[in-house]
């Protein structure tokens, strides 16, 4: 999605620190400082008018007093958990230590809390994008994003960023 | 469906209120409202649960269920939003509280300040969370209510205005309680500041309660005051008589604070009763008592929730209203009985999955009691938070750990990690103790084994694990732990190792709850937010110096070793271990009971008599000590005294099958056959396999005028049980 938005003409906040790897051979659009958001909420000022990648957990730390437009990427949780397990294995770190089913339930509850929190925020508008839709209908998704952001984007260039070969953690039920 | 017995119900919670303090004040005419209340209603002890920790207990009061069912297992829980911890929340409670059930049935229902009440639940009425009264900023700065503190949101500003800031507590308010306040050096002694904080918080809650009673229709209002508990944690060591080590001048300054707290609550009670009106049925309860006499501990264990050592296992219960007896005492109530009783007042069924019972003895006529399997399966809007907002705190913590492992978020700070680990560990420990308390050692075992393995330096985990093994009759494993504890104590570790065994500063700070902060969620949160806040907060110099190290496990290990020898039938070894424990700590809870039981088994009745008397000298409200004395008196053929002691025992703790059995024996010997049979039947309702009770009933029913069918049935049951016993013995 970050590649799509960049190709569409939006300015992306990234530090380029995280290099491409087997999980994401086309590189990352990470901005490490965003992880400091809970302690340094003002750092979001650097992303004014730009695009920044934020994990759902960090939404809670967005400071009030600003307008935000959130493109919320959604994917079946079994796929998320399988993908995360593979990333954790490659990183050599220790994850939640829960069985996949328990982790799926935990992530589901977490998303419910995030959604409930977002619902009450008048300064945050949300556009939800299904991961599978991006792969199947990239042009339609790109147009919907253009409409949500209410600014002209190069939707053709956006839709050409999709590389279906990277869709490896397909849910068995998908 | 039974007829309702009440038009409206007011439930008032006074945390830690205790008859031991109240009775002298009643005698002096210093609590006139409560005096009038109990003269027009019933009163009694309210037995608590263990561990004696208020968030767990108040949620048991509100649900009629033990903590292993309602899901509130301590003071703090992981906070997924900030990666740290937060006060235990309403989204963690797994089951319906009484206000949810009443909402479901359409009653106008309000709840104020209840433990684990944040965020306020969307009930059919007003809900004000437990974070409502806490001042989060100095008076000259804004102190907005936290989001979610009031439901409905439209009343948020109204309730914010009802709060009182500690700085609003003036000299005129302080002097009646602390006439020599001017002598306090406020640089060194934060007692006045603590006093003002507790007073203002309770005034805020009271203002909210009176506002609702004056402005809103209501069928049910539950209001919780933490004042007595917090005043006692802060000032009980100055309460008369003067404790050893308390300086005379400081004693004189603060000696009236605890009594003042009770008198203040009496005044608030008067207002509530006047506003509630004569039609209301009113219940006044406390979750536990608070040691106020020679049982006051001299120090507080430096472990999480250590100040709970000051709590006494009996709270108070009072109820008045239509259909309620007047000027009567009731016996055997537990805090689990409150919700079933309120349901019966409203003519609603009691859930069969509730652990409490209806306090039928409180009513003029035995009430009709309807039952359903569970309120949890009853459909309808009940004013709980949506199920998708409720999340198991441990699962929430696991999700955060997953995000850290993925590099999505920063690892929590060291302080946060410690706080989270401590919250999870304490919740598991408390849950394990709840399982032990309700006779489910199988469920406690995996939790305690994990705790002991992960934190082997915490002797409290080892001690409870040994107790758990013993409950499971795994005596060898229990012995192994106890021997290790005894050996460790006989061979004190090097200074450095000893230092390592003490809880670290952060942990000690987090739990320095010998002041009102003991049960203040807001203060807990504040302490985890800043590193300097991790230092222990104290009110007064005496409170500051009362922290103890981890309790010495040696006397406790000797006591438990004595119990094991006793169970193995080795009375000499049992006595030797118990007397060793007595040498180290003669006031160890239950020690003299075990010594008395051992003497009884050795047929040393006079020694047993002395041991049980010693137990009563330490705690005159010990049902087990009265039970032991009942047995002694039966041996001595002093049957009237035996009956008296057995009655005292079951009066303090109704669920005491042996108490009813001894009472039956004494009454039978005294010729009170009908009353004896009733006592034996009560005993068997609690312990159906007690062979001797069947034998007694068979004999009593065989006498002229008895019920021969029952005689035959009990004789048959007696024979069956004896046969089973023989078969087991052979196996």
Q: Mapping DSSP to helix (H, G, I), strand (E, B) and coil, where does residue B546 land? A: coil
Nearest residue, CB atoms, A106 vs list B83, B398, B405: B398
List, for residues B600-609, the tens digit of each pLDDT value.
999 999 999 9
Q: Which two tokens stand for residue B482?
A: 């106890």
Q: Which residues of B touch A116 (CB under 8 A)?
A: 386, 388-389
Q: What is the pTM of this model?
A: 0.81
For B135-158, what is the mean pLDDT?
90
Establish, for the pair of chains A and B, how many residue pairs have beta carbons separated by less than 8 Å: 88
List, for residues B179-199, the tens digit of each pLDDT value.
999 999 888 888 999 999 999
What is the predicted pLDDT for the residue at B510?
Answer: 28
B80–A84: do the CB atoms touch at under 8 Å?
Answer: no
B389–A116: do the CB atoms touch at under 8 Å?
Answer: yes
List, for residues B221-261, the tens digit of each pLDDT value.
999 999 999 999 999 999 999 999 999 999 999 999 999 99
Residue of chain A with shortest Cα separation from B391:
A109
Confidence category of residue B725, pLDDT binned at 50, 70, 90:
confident
Q: Would the pLDDT of B687 be above 70? A: yes
Is the sign of the CA dihedral B113, B230, B54, B264 positive or negative?
negative
Q: At what angle do helices B414-437 and B521-529 cross, to 10 degrees?
A: 150
Spans in chain A with pLDDT lower than 50: 171-174
Q: How far is CA B314 from the centre of its chain?
A: 8
Q: At what angle do helices B393-405 and A77-91 cross, to 10 degrees?
A: 50
The DSSP secondary-structure symbol of B278 reads: T
What is the predicted pLDDT for the residue at B530?
Answer: 27
What is the predicted pLDDT for the residue at A90?
Answer: 79
Distance CA B718, CA B731 (A): 20
Residue of chain B with shortest Cα separation from A34:
B409
Secondary structure string (H, E, C) spanning B30-82: CCHHHHHHHHCEEEEEEECCCCCCHHHHHHHHHHCCCHHHHCCCCCEEECCCC
Residue of chain B with shortest Cα separation from A101:
B395
Q: Would the pLDDT of B370 be above 70? A: yes
Q: Would the pLDDT of B433 be above 90? A: yes
Q: Which residues of B touch A106 (CB under 8 A)?
A: 391-392, 395-396, 398-399
Q: Would the pLDDT of B383 be above 50? A: yes
List, for residues B292-350, the tens digit of each pLDDT value.
998 898 888 888 888 899 999 999 999 999 999 999 999 889 999 999 999 999 999 99
What is the predicted pLDDT for the residue at B588?
Answer: 86
Helix H segments across B369-411?
Answer: 393-405
B398–A98: do the CB atoms touch at under 8 Å?
Answer: yes
Confidence category of residue B621, pLDDT binned at 50, 70, 90:
confident
What is the predicted pLDDT for the residue at A21?
Answer: 67
Nearest residue, CB atoms, A107 vs list B82, B388, B399: B399
List, for residues B513-572, the tens digit of each pLDDT value.
333 333 443 433 333 322 222 223 335 555 544 455 566 788 899 999 999 999 999 999
Nearest residue, CB atoms, B409 vs list A35, A87, A106: A35
Weakest-pLDDT range from B41-55, B232-246, B645-659, B689-703? B645-659
B400–A112: do the CB atoms touch at under 8 Å?
Answer: no
Q: Would the pLDDT of B502 be above 50? A: no
For the stretch B29-35, contacts whose Cβ atoms lie closer than 8 Å and that sit 24 or more positions apart, written own/partner, are: B30/B259, B30/B262, B30/B263, B30/B266, B31/B262, B31/B263, B31/B266, B32/B266, B32/B270, B33/B266, B33/B267, B33/B269, B33/B270, B33/B273, B34/B266, B34/B269, B34/B284, B34/B318
Nearest-CA distance from A32 to chain B in Å? 9
Q: At what angle do helices B691-702 and B673-686 cross, to 10 degrees?
A: 150
A113–B80: do the CB atoms touch at under 8 Å?
Answer: yes
What is the predicted pLDDT for the residue at A19?
Answer: 66
Q: Which residues of A touch B81 (CB under 8 A)?
A: 60, 113, 117
Chain A residues near any Cβ of chain B (below 8 Å) = 35-36, 38, 55, 57-58, 60-61, 84, 87-88, 91, 93-98, 102-103, 105-110, 112-113, 116-117
Q: What does the mean pLDDT of chain B come to?
A: 88
Q: Which residues of A touch B399 (CB under 8 A)?
A: 96, 103, 106-107, 109-110
Q: Would the pLDDT of B589 be above 90? A: no
Q: Which residues of A touch B388 (CB under 8 A)?
A: 108-109, 112-113, 116
Site from A29, A88, A108, A113 to mutate, B interface, most B CB atoms within 10 angstroms: A113
Neighbours of A161 (CB within 10 A): 18
Nearest residue, CB atoms, B402 vs list A58, A96, A105: A96
A57–B80: do the CB atoms touch at under 8 Å?
Answer: yes
Q: Would the pLDDT of B716 be above 60? A: yes
A113–B389: do the CB atoms touch at under 8 Å?
Answer: yes
Nearest-CA distance from B389 to chain A in Å? 6
Regarding beta strands B547-548 and B300-301, do their DSSP bridges make them parallel or antiparallel, or are they unpaired? parallel
Q: Which residues of B touch A97 (CB under 8 A)?
A: 398, 401
Weakest-pLDDT range from A93-107, B81-95, B423-437, B656-670? A93-107
List, for residues B461-493, the tens digit of each pLDDT value.
999 999 999 999 999 999 999 999 888 765 554
Residue of chain A with shortest Cα separation from B393:
A106
For B446-473, what is the mean pLDDT?
94
A110–B80: do the CB atoms touch at under 8 Å?
Answer: yes
What is the predicted pLDDT for the residue at A127?
Answer: 96
Confidence category of residue B503, pLDDT binned at 50, 70, 90:
very low
Q: B70 with B55: CB under 8 angstroms?
A: no
Secondary structure string (H, E, C) spanning B169-184: CCHHHHCCCCCCHHHC
List, for residues A94-135, the tens digit of each pLDDT value.
776 778 888 888 888 889 889 988 987 899 999 999 999 999
B389–A60: do the CB atoms touch at under 8 Å?
Answer: no
Nearest residue, CB atoms, B388 vs list A88, A96, A109: A109
Regarding beta strands B333-334 and B150-151, do their DSSP bridges make them parallel or antiparallel, or are they unpaired? unpaired
């Amino acid at each position: 999605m970050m590649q799509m938005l960049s190709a569409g003409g939006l300015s992306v906040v990234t530090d380029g620190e995280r290099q491409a790897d087997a999980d994401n051979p086309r590189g990352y659009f990470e901005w490490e400082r965003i992880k400091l958001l809970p302690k340094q909420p003002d750092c979001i000022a650097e992303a004014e008018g730009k695009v920044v990648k934020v994990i759902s957990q960090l939404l809670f730390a967005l400071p009030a007093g600003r307008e935000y437009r959130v493109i919320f990427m959604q994917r079946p949780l079994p796929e998320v958990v399988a993908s995360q397990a593979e990333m954790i294995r490659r990183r050599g770190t220790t994850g939640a230590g829960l069985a996949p089913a328990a982790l799926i339930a935990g992530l589901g509850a977490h998303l419910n809390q995030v959604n409930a929190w977002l619902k009450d925020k008048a300064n945050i508008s949300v556009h939800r994008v299904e991961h599978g839709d991006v792969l199947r209908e990239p042009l339609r998704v790109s147009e919907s994003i253009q409409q949500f952001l209410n600014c002209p984007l190069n939707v053709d260039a956006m839709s050409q960023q999709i590389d279906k070969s990277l869709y490896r953690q397909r849910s068995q039920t998908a | 469906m039974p007829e309702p017995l009440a038009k409206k119900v007011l439930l008032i919670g006074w945390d830690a209120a205790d008859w031991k303090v109240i009775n002298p004040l009643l005698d002096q005419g210093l609590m006139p409202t409560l005096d009038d209340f109990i003269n027009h209603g019933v009163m009694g002890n309210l037995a608590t649960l263990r561990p004696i920790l208020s968030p767990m207990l108040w949620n048991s009061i509100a649900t009629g269920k033990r903590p292993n069912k309602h899901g509130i297992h301590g003071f703090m829980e992981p906070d997924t939003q900030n990666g740290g911890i937060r006060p235990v929340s309403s989204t963690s409670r797994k089951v319906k509280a009484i206000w949810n059930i009443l909402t479901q049935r359409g009653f106008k229902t309000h709840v104020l300040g209840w433990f684990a009440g944040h965020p306020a639940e969307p009930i059919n009425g007003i809900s004000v969370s437990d974070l409502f009264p806490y001042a989060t900023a100095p008076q000259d700065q804004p102190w907005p209510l936290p989001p979610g503190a009031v439901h409905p949101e439209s009343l948020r500003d109204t309730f914010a205005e009802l709060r009182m800031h500690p700085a609003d507590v003036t000299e005129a308010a302080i002097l009646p309680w602390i006439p020599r306040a001017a002598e306090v050096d406020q640089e060194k002694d934060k007692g006045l500041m603590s006093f003002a904080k507790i007073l203002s918080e309770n005034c805020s809650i009271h203002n909210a309660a009176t506002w609702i009673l004056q402005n809103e229709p209501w069928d049910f209002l539950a209001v919780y005051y933490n004042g007595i508990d917090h005043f006692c944690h802060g000032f009980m060591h100055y309460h008369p008589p003067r404790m050893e080590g308390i300086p005379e001048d400081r004693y004189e300054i603060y000696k009236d604070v605890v009594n003042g707290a009770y008198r203040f609550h009496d005044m608030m009670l008067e207002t509530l009763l006047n506003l509630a009106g004569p039609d209301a049925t009113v219940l006044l309860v406390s979750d536990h008592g608070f040691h106020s006499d020679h049982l006051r501990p001299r120090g507080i264990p430096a472990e999480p929730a250590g100040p709970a050592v000051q709590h006494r296992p009996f709270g108070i219960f009072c109820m008045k209203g239509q259909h309620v007896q007047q000027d009567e005492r009731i016996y055997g109530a537990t805090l689990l009985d409150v919700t079933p009783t309120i349901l019966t007042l409203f003519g609603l069924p009691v859930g069969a999955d509730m652990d409490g019972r209806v306090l039928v003895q409180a009513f003029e006529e035995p009430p009709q009691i309807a039952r359903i399997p569970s309120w949890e399966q009853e459909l309808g809007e009940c004013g709980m938070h949506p199920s998708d907002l409720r999340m198991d705190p441990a699962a929430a913590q696991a999700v955060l750990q997953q995000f850290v492992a993925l590099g999505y978020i920063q690892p929590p700070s060291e302080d946060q990690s410690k706080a989270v680990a401590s919250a999870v560990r304490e919740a598991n420990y408390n849950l394990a103790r709840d399982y032990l308390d309700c006779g489910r050692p199988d469920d406690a075992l995996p939790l305690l084994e994990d705790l002991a393995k992960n934190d082997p330096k915490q002797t409290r985990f080892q001690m409870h694990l040994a107790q758990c093994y013993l409950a499971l009759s795994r005596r060898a494993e229990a012995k192994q732990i106890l021997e290790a504890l005894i050996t460790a104590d006989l061979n004190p570790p090097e200074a450095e190792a000893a230092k390592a065994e003490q809880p670290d500063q952060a942990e000690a700070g987090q739990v320095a709850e010998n002041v009102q902060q003991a049960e203040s969620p807001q203060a807990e949160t504040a302490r985890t937010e800043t590193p300097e806040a991790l230092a222990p907060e104290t009110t007064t110099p005496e409170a500051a110096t009362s922290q103890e190290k981890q309790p010495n496990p040696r006397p406790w290990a000797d006591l438990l070793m004595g119990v094991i020898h006793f169970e193995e039938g080795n009375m000499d070894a049992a006595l030797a271990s118990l007397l060793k424990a007595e040498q180290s700590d003669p006031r160890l809870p239950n020690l003299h009971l075990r010594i008395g039981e051992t003497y009884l088994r050795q047929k040393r009745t006079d020694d047993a008599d002395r041991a049980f008397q010693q137990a009563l000298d330490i705690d005159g409200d010990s049902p087990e000590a009265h039970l032991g004395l009942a047995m002694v008196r039966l041996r001595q053929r002093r049957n009237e005294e035996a009956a008296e002691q057995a009655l005292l025992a079951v009066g303090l703790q109704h669920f005491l099958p042996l108490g009813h059995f001894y009472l039956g024996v004494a009454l039978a010997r005294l010729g009170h056959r009908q009353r004896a049979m009733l006592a034996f039947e009560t005993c068997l309702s609690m312990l159906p396999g007690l062979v001797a009770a069947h034998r007694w009933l068979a004999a009593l029913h065989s006498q002229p005028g008895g019920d021969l069918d029952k005689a035959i049935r009990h004789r048959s049951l007696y024979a069956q049980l004896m046969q089973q016993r023989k078969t087991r013995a052979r196996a």
